[in-house]
Every structure is written in structure tokens, then in C-alpha cells.
A and B are shown apart, each in its own frame.
Chain A
Amino acid sequence: MSVECHGRLFRISVIQWIVWGLLLCGCMSAVAADRLVVYSVNYPLAYFAERIGGGHVEVHFPAPAAVDPAFWMPDADTVAGYQGADLILLNGAGYAKWIERVSLPRRKLVDTSRGLAGSYITVTEGVTHQHGPDGDHAHAGTAFTTWLDFNQAAQQAGEIAAALSRQRPERAAAFNENLQRLQEELLQLDSRMQALAAAQPGLPLLASHPVYQYMARRYGLQLRSVTWEPEVQPDDSSWRELQSMLVRQASHWMLWEGNPRMETRKGLERLGVQTVLFRPAMNRPATGDFMTVMRANIEALTVAFDAPD
């Protein structure tokens, strides 16, 4: 074969690769254009949307890692991102008060706990406190960590799947298949929690923060809360409040949203209280995902329920 013939073949091959490349780019951009843009107000909902939507959705959860998404206030650019989404996943139950202060397109809002509205837990006490870089806040109103009742979390996931299917009916089968898998995993967590709580019914527990109401109701936990922050050393009055709670009913375990300071941990140990890390996963975890965090939470709680009373 002549040199000229080789050169011609080489040119044809290059042109073929360019054509294939362009076709591939075209297909990829078509797929990207077809993807639903979903914004979420907290991490659990973002995780559910990612699991259900798979490659057909582009999930955004723009809250910075250091903030509590429940008490965050997004800036105008972030609000514009929410406004431009195809769907905006709300937790409902009064979660994310910032929604009251911004304008979001009503048709795109999906209240994932809409079906649970009749069973919301009303919180009457509300001590104003501060954590992270956000402003002060109180928990009076409606308890909002609905997903810590894993049965409720499964229902919220169902709402997300329904909303995605309404937007993309042609993908409904895939969404439902993914939903079933997710709900199975959530209900496994639910079963494990129920089994755990059944091991020592009525085991008195403490919570460092009033965020475990739905979990306590679902699994029959005897839980009393203080309003302590992991990164803040409790003051004298907080210790006195805890001591009086312990006098009324002894408890050896306190659930924490994050690892408490060493001084706090030692102070608790002096009162005979051990710490259990049970993270609500409101924000995206540094490692792992919602499922790994919840499995770790249940493992940590197992220690309390397996221990002799």
C-alpha cells in the first residue's frame, strides 16, 4: 500500500473520530438538557431525590456545610437558583423558615410531608439559642425532623417519586423502581429501630437537642430533651437543669447531633451519662451518605439498648 493511501486512510479515520465525538457530545448534551433540576431544602430530601431520580435528575442542595439548613438564609443568587429549578423539595412541618422570606414559584414546590400534616408534633417550649454561624433560633412551633421516623421518611420519598413522575411521566417506571429500593432500605432501618426499642421498652434517654420527637414517637422512646449544642460548653444553669431532670428520672444515655466537647462529655460521665452520637443528617455528611449515617446512628444506639439497665 502506498504512502499516499496510508495518509488517506489516516485522514478518514480522524474524520470518523471527530464525527463520533460530535455525536457523543450531542447525545450527552441532549441527556443533560432532559435532566430535571431539583433543589432541596435539606440533605435527606436531596439524598432521596438522588436515589430515586438517578441519572435523570440533577439535585442541588446549596446550603453551606457549616450551617444548619433549618435556620439558614440563602442569598439572592441562591434564591435565583431555587427559582430556576424544575422542582423544589420542601420538608414541610415548618422546616426552613427562610421559605417565608423569599419568593419561590408555587407550582414547583413539593411539600414532601403533606400527607403527614395531620400527625405533626407541636412543640410548645422554645428556648432561644444559637449554633454555627447563623442567628439565634428557637424550636417552638412544629417539630420538623420528620425523616427520623423512617416510616415517615419512606412516605416523603414517595412524594418525591410522585413529583418526579409528574414532571417526566416517561421515566415513571424507573423512578418507581428506585423508590421501591429506597423504601425497602428505609423500612429496614425502621424495623431495626423498632426491634432495638423493643429490647428495652421505656429505657429513659436524654437528648441534647429537641430534634428527635418523631423518632421517639414512632419507636416508643422515653426521651427528654435539653437544648445543648455540641460545640458550646453548657453553663451552670444548664447543668443544674440536667441534674434536676436526672433526679426526677435517672438516665444513662444522651443522644447528640454531633460530638460534644471533651469537657461536656466528662461532665456527663461524672453524672453517669454516656453520649450516643445520633446525627439527624440535616446537612450533607463529610463522608458517606444518609444511609451510612443512619446505620451508624442505629449501631451507636444499639450500645445503649444492649447495655444492662
Chain B
Amino acid sequence: MDSLYVAWRYVTWNRGKTLVLIASITLVAFLPLALQTLLNESERQLRTRALDTPLLLGAAGSALDLVMSSLYFDDEVPARIDMRAPAVIDESGLAYPLPLYVRFMARGAPIVGTTLDYFDFRGLQLAQGRLFGLLGEAVIGAEVSMRLGIGVGDSLVSSPDNLFDIAGVYPLKMTVAGVLADSHSPDDRAVFVDVKTAWVIEGLGHGHQDLARTADSSVILRQDAGTVTANARLVQYTEITPENIDSFHFHGSAADYPLTALLVVPDDDKAAARLRGRFIDDSRYQLVRPNTVIDGLMESIFRIKQVIDAVIVIVAIATLLTIVLVFALSLRIRREELETIFRIGCSRMTTVRLLAAEILIIVTVSAVLCAGLLWLIHINSAALVQGLILR
């Protein structure tokens, strides 16, 4: 007990040295354990989302881009498919499709164009308001609501597609109809709209004054018997309101409207296998199992982690050698002090006990600190993974 007291007095007197030693040991222990915790959590989240999504249909190309865009709303936009794809799935009679159009952003949050069936499929619950009902309405994730400080009845403007394209699509002011409850998934940081609203943002649908009845002839470029052609002066509505919603319409064939992916929900495993068989040699589409794609991604991540682990082992060895050196030098500096302890009648074992007590105190404090930090990481791992890794 006396040895611990004397050792405690020594480490508190030499604060600088003690703090450096505690910080070194804490970091060496904490880093690999924290990395492992975060990787485990990211793997859990990636796999859960992937396992919850039976099949994904997209344009032929990178399967990883398709999965990352459709499941985690990654910035990378995969090649597009069109509205003929849902009809292909419907006609198979083996599954039902959920359209996804993930291309635009609103104040840093991805805009996910989909249908109401998506909320049922993901089991998402509303914290406030209702699901989108009219064109131009949005439902926002819990994190978006918290980060931007907006709720039901507030507005959200879509970001321009390209800052340098002055003739590009107009930003659309969307009304928040509902806020989702926290789901600890990428849905928390997304803005959900009807896929038709996403097409309005794209410019495929729009609303404007009635050209057949306008008194402003300056907006008319040409007028034939049955056709009125407007010029660029015609102002399109940038917000959909009950007053102008009737003027919104879509141009072109609905079959040509774009999607980035289809979430395909087969009736059963047999239907999934039959459906996959149909798309094996398809040159336009790829039908992937997100779980398989994520397996490949995790293999790559774990290969990288093995390299990081090796680096950490080397750093740990270097740190331990440094600590041994610090203690060895410390013994040399403290030679006179230890000699005095011996001369006043203490045994050599007392000196050893004193040094052991000092090491015990430093290691114990480091262990407590490390455990505290790991606990913080553990309880915030879902949010940290969302914010740092799967963003």
C-alpha cells in the first residue's frame, strides 16, 4: 500500500511524463479496438441493408455503383434505366418493382424519387405529418430535419444540377409533408419525393401559364392551328401549389422517363432465382443481389483493415519500446533517489515494487481511459458509421 502511495506521489509530481505515457498507451490500445468496433458496425449496417434488399435492377455497368446509390444514396449516379423496366418486372409475375431515381440533392441531402410502397417495404415510420400526397411534396429523414432545422410545412429547395448550366433545370421548392422517425439507416439523411416530383426537378414535367389563353403575346414564339410554341420568356413555376398544380404536365412518352434503379421484391426464393436467370445474359440490365456485392466490398475493406492492423502492430511495438526506454532513462535519472531509498534501509525489492506500482498506475489509468473512449464509440457507432463511413 505504501509503495502505491509513494508511486502515486511520484507520478503526480512528474505530471508531464506521466501524461505522455498514459496518452501513448491509451492511443495504442484504443485505435485498433475503435477501428474494429466501427468496422463491425459498418459491416452490420451494410449487410443489414443489403440483406433487407433482395434484388436490384439497374443498367448494365458497375454493380457496386448501383448498390451504393440505391441502398446508401451515394453521390455516384449509376447509368440510367427507363420506365419500361418496371413493366418488365410486372410482366414476369414473379416480383414487384419499387422505382428509384436518386440523382438530385437538396441542401446536401440526396433526393430519393420513389413511390409510397418504399416506406412500407423499409418499414419506415413517420414522426410527424403524413406521406407525400401531391406533386412537389417531400418527406424528410430524421437527420435532415435535425440538421436543417425544418419540419412539416417548411420548404426545401432542390439544388441546381449544374451551377454553370444557366439554361438548366429550375430548382424546385418542395413542401415538407412529413418527417420520418429515426431509423439508423441511410433513410435518415434522405429527402423522399414521388418519382414524378423528381422528374419535375429534371425538367420532364413542368407547369406554366396557359399559352392558349395568355394575354402576354411576348412569350409566344409561334402559333399554328393546333399548336402554340413558347419562347424562353415563358416563366415556369418553381413551386407547386394548389393554385397551379393543374398546370403541371409531363412531356414525352412516360415509358422513356428515367430511373436509376428498381428495388425488386420477388414472391419467394424460387421466383428470385428464376428472375435472376432471365437477366443473366441481358445486355441492357443487370439484376444483382446486393448482399453478394456487399460481400465483395467487405472483402476489400478487410484486406485494407489487415494492412492497417499490421501498421498498428508496428506502431504498438515502437510505442512499447519507447515506454521501456522512458522507464530505463527514468531509472538512470532517478539513480541517486533509488540509492537514497536503499541507504535508508529499504530492500532492493521495495525499489522494484515502487517501479511496478508506478507502471500499474499508468496502465490502469490508460485502461480506464481507453474503456471510456471505446464505450463512447460503441454507443455512437451507428451514427459515426453513418456520418463517417457510409456518407
Which A residues are within 8 Å of any B CB, using their own CB? Answer: 73, 75-76, 79-80, 83, 97, 100-107, 125-126, 128, 135-136
Contact = CB atoms under 8 A, between A and B. Distances in A.
Contact of A106 (B115, B130, B226): B115
Given A102-B133, A103-B194, A73 B245 contact: yes
Please name the 8 residue pairs, one residue from A and one from B, whose CB atoms are nearest each other, closest first: A103-B194, A105-B116, A79-B133, A106-B115, A101-B135, A103-B132, A107-B117, A76-B133
A306 B246 CA distance: 44
A80 to B, nearest CB: 6
Contacts of B131: 83, 103
A210 to B, nearest CB: 14
Contacts of B213: 128, 136
A126 B226 contact: yes
A125 B226 CA distance: 8
Contacts of A80: 130, 133
Interface residues of B, number: 28
B239 interface: no
23 contacts: A75-B242, A76-B133, A76-B134, A80-B133, A83-B131, A100-B249, A101-B135, A101-B245, A102-B135, A103-B115, A103-B116, A103-B131, A103-B134, A104-B116, A105-B116, A106-B86, A106-B98, A106-B99, A106-B115, A106-B116, A106-B117, A136-B210, A136-B213
Contacts of A105: 115-117, 120
B389 to A, nearest CB: 32
Interface string B192-233: 001010000000010000101100000000000010000000
B135 A83 contact: no
Residue among A73, A79, A107, A136 with max Cβ neighbours from chain B (10 Å): A107
A76 B246 CA distance: 14
Contact of A100 (B115, B196, B226): B196
A298 B250 CA distance: 38
B237 interface: no
A201 to B, nearest CB: 33
B292 to A, nearest CB: 26
Nearest to B212: A128
Contact of A83 (B96, B133, B205): B133
Given A102-B134, A106-B98, A107-B117, 20 more contacts: A73-B245, A75-B242, A80-B133, A83-B116, A100-B135, A101-B134, A101-B196, A101-B248, A102-B133, A103-B115, A103-B116, A103-B134, A103-B135, A103-B194, A103-B196, A105-B115, A105-B117, A106-B117, A107-B96, A128-B212
A83 B194 CA distance: 13
B321 to A, nearest CB: 64
A100 B250 contact: yes
A79 B132 CA distance: 10
Contacts of A125: 226
B150 to A, nearest CB: 19
B362 to A, nearest CB: 62
A126 B227 CA distance: 10
Interface in B14-32: none
A107 B114 CA distance: 12
A128 B213 CA distance: 10
Contacts of A97: 249
A97 B135 CA distance: 13
Nearest to A106: B115
Nearest to B196: A100
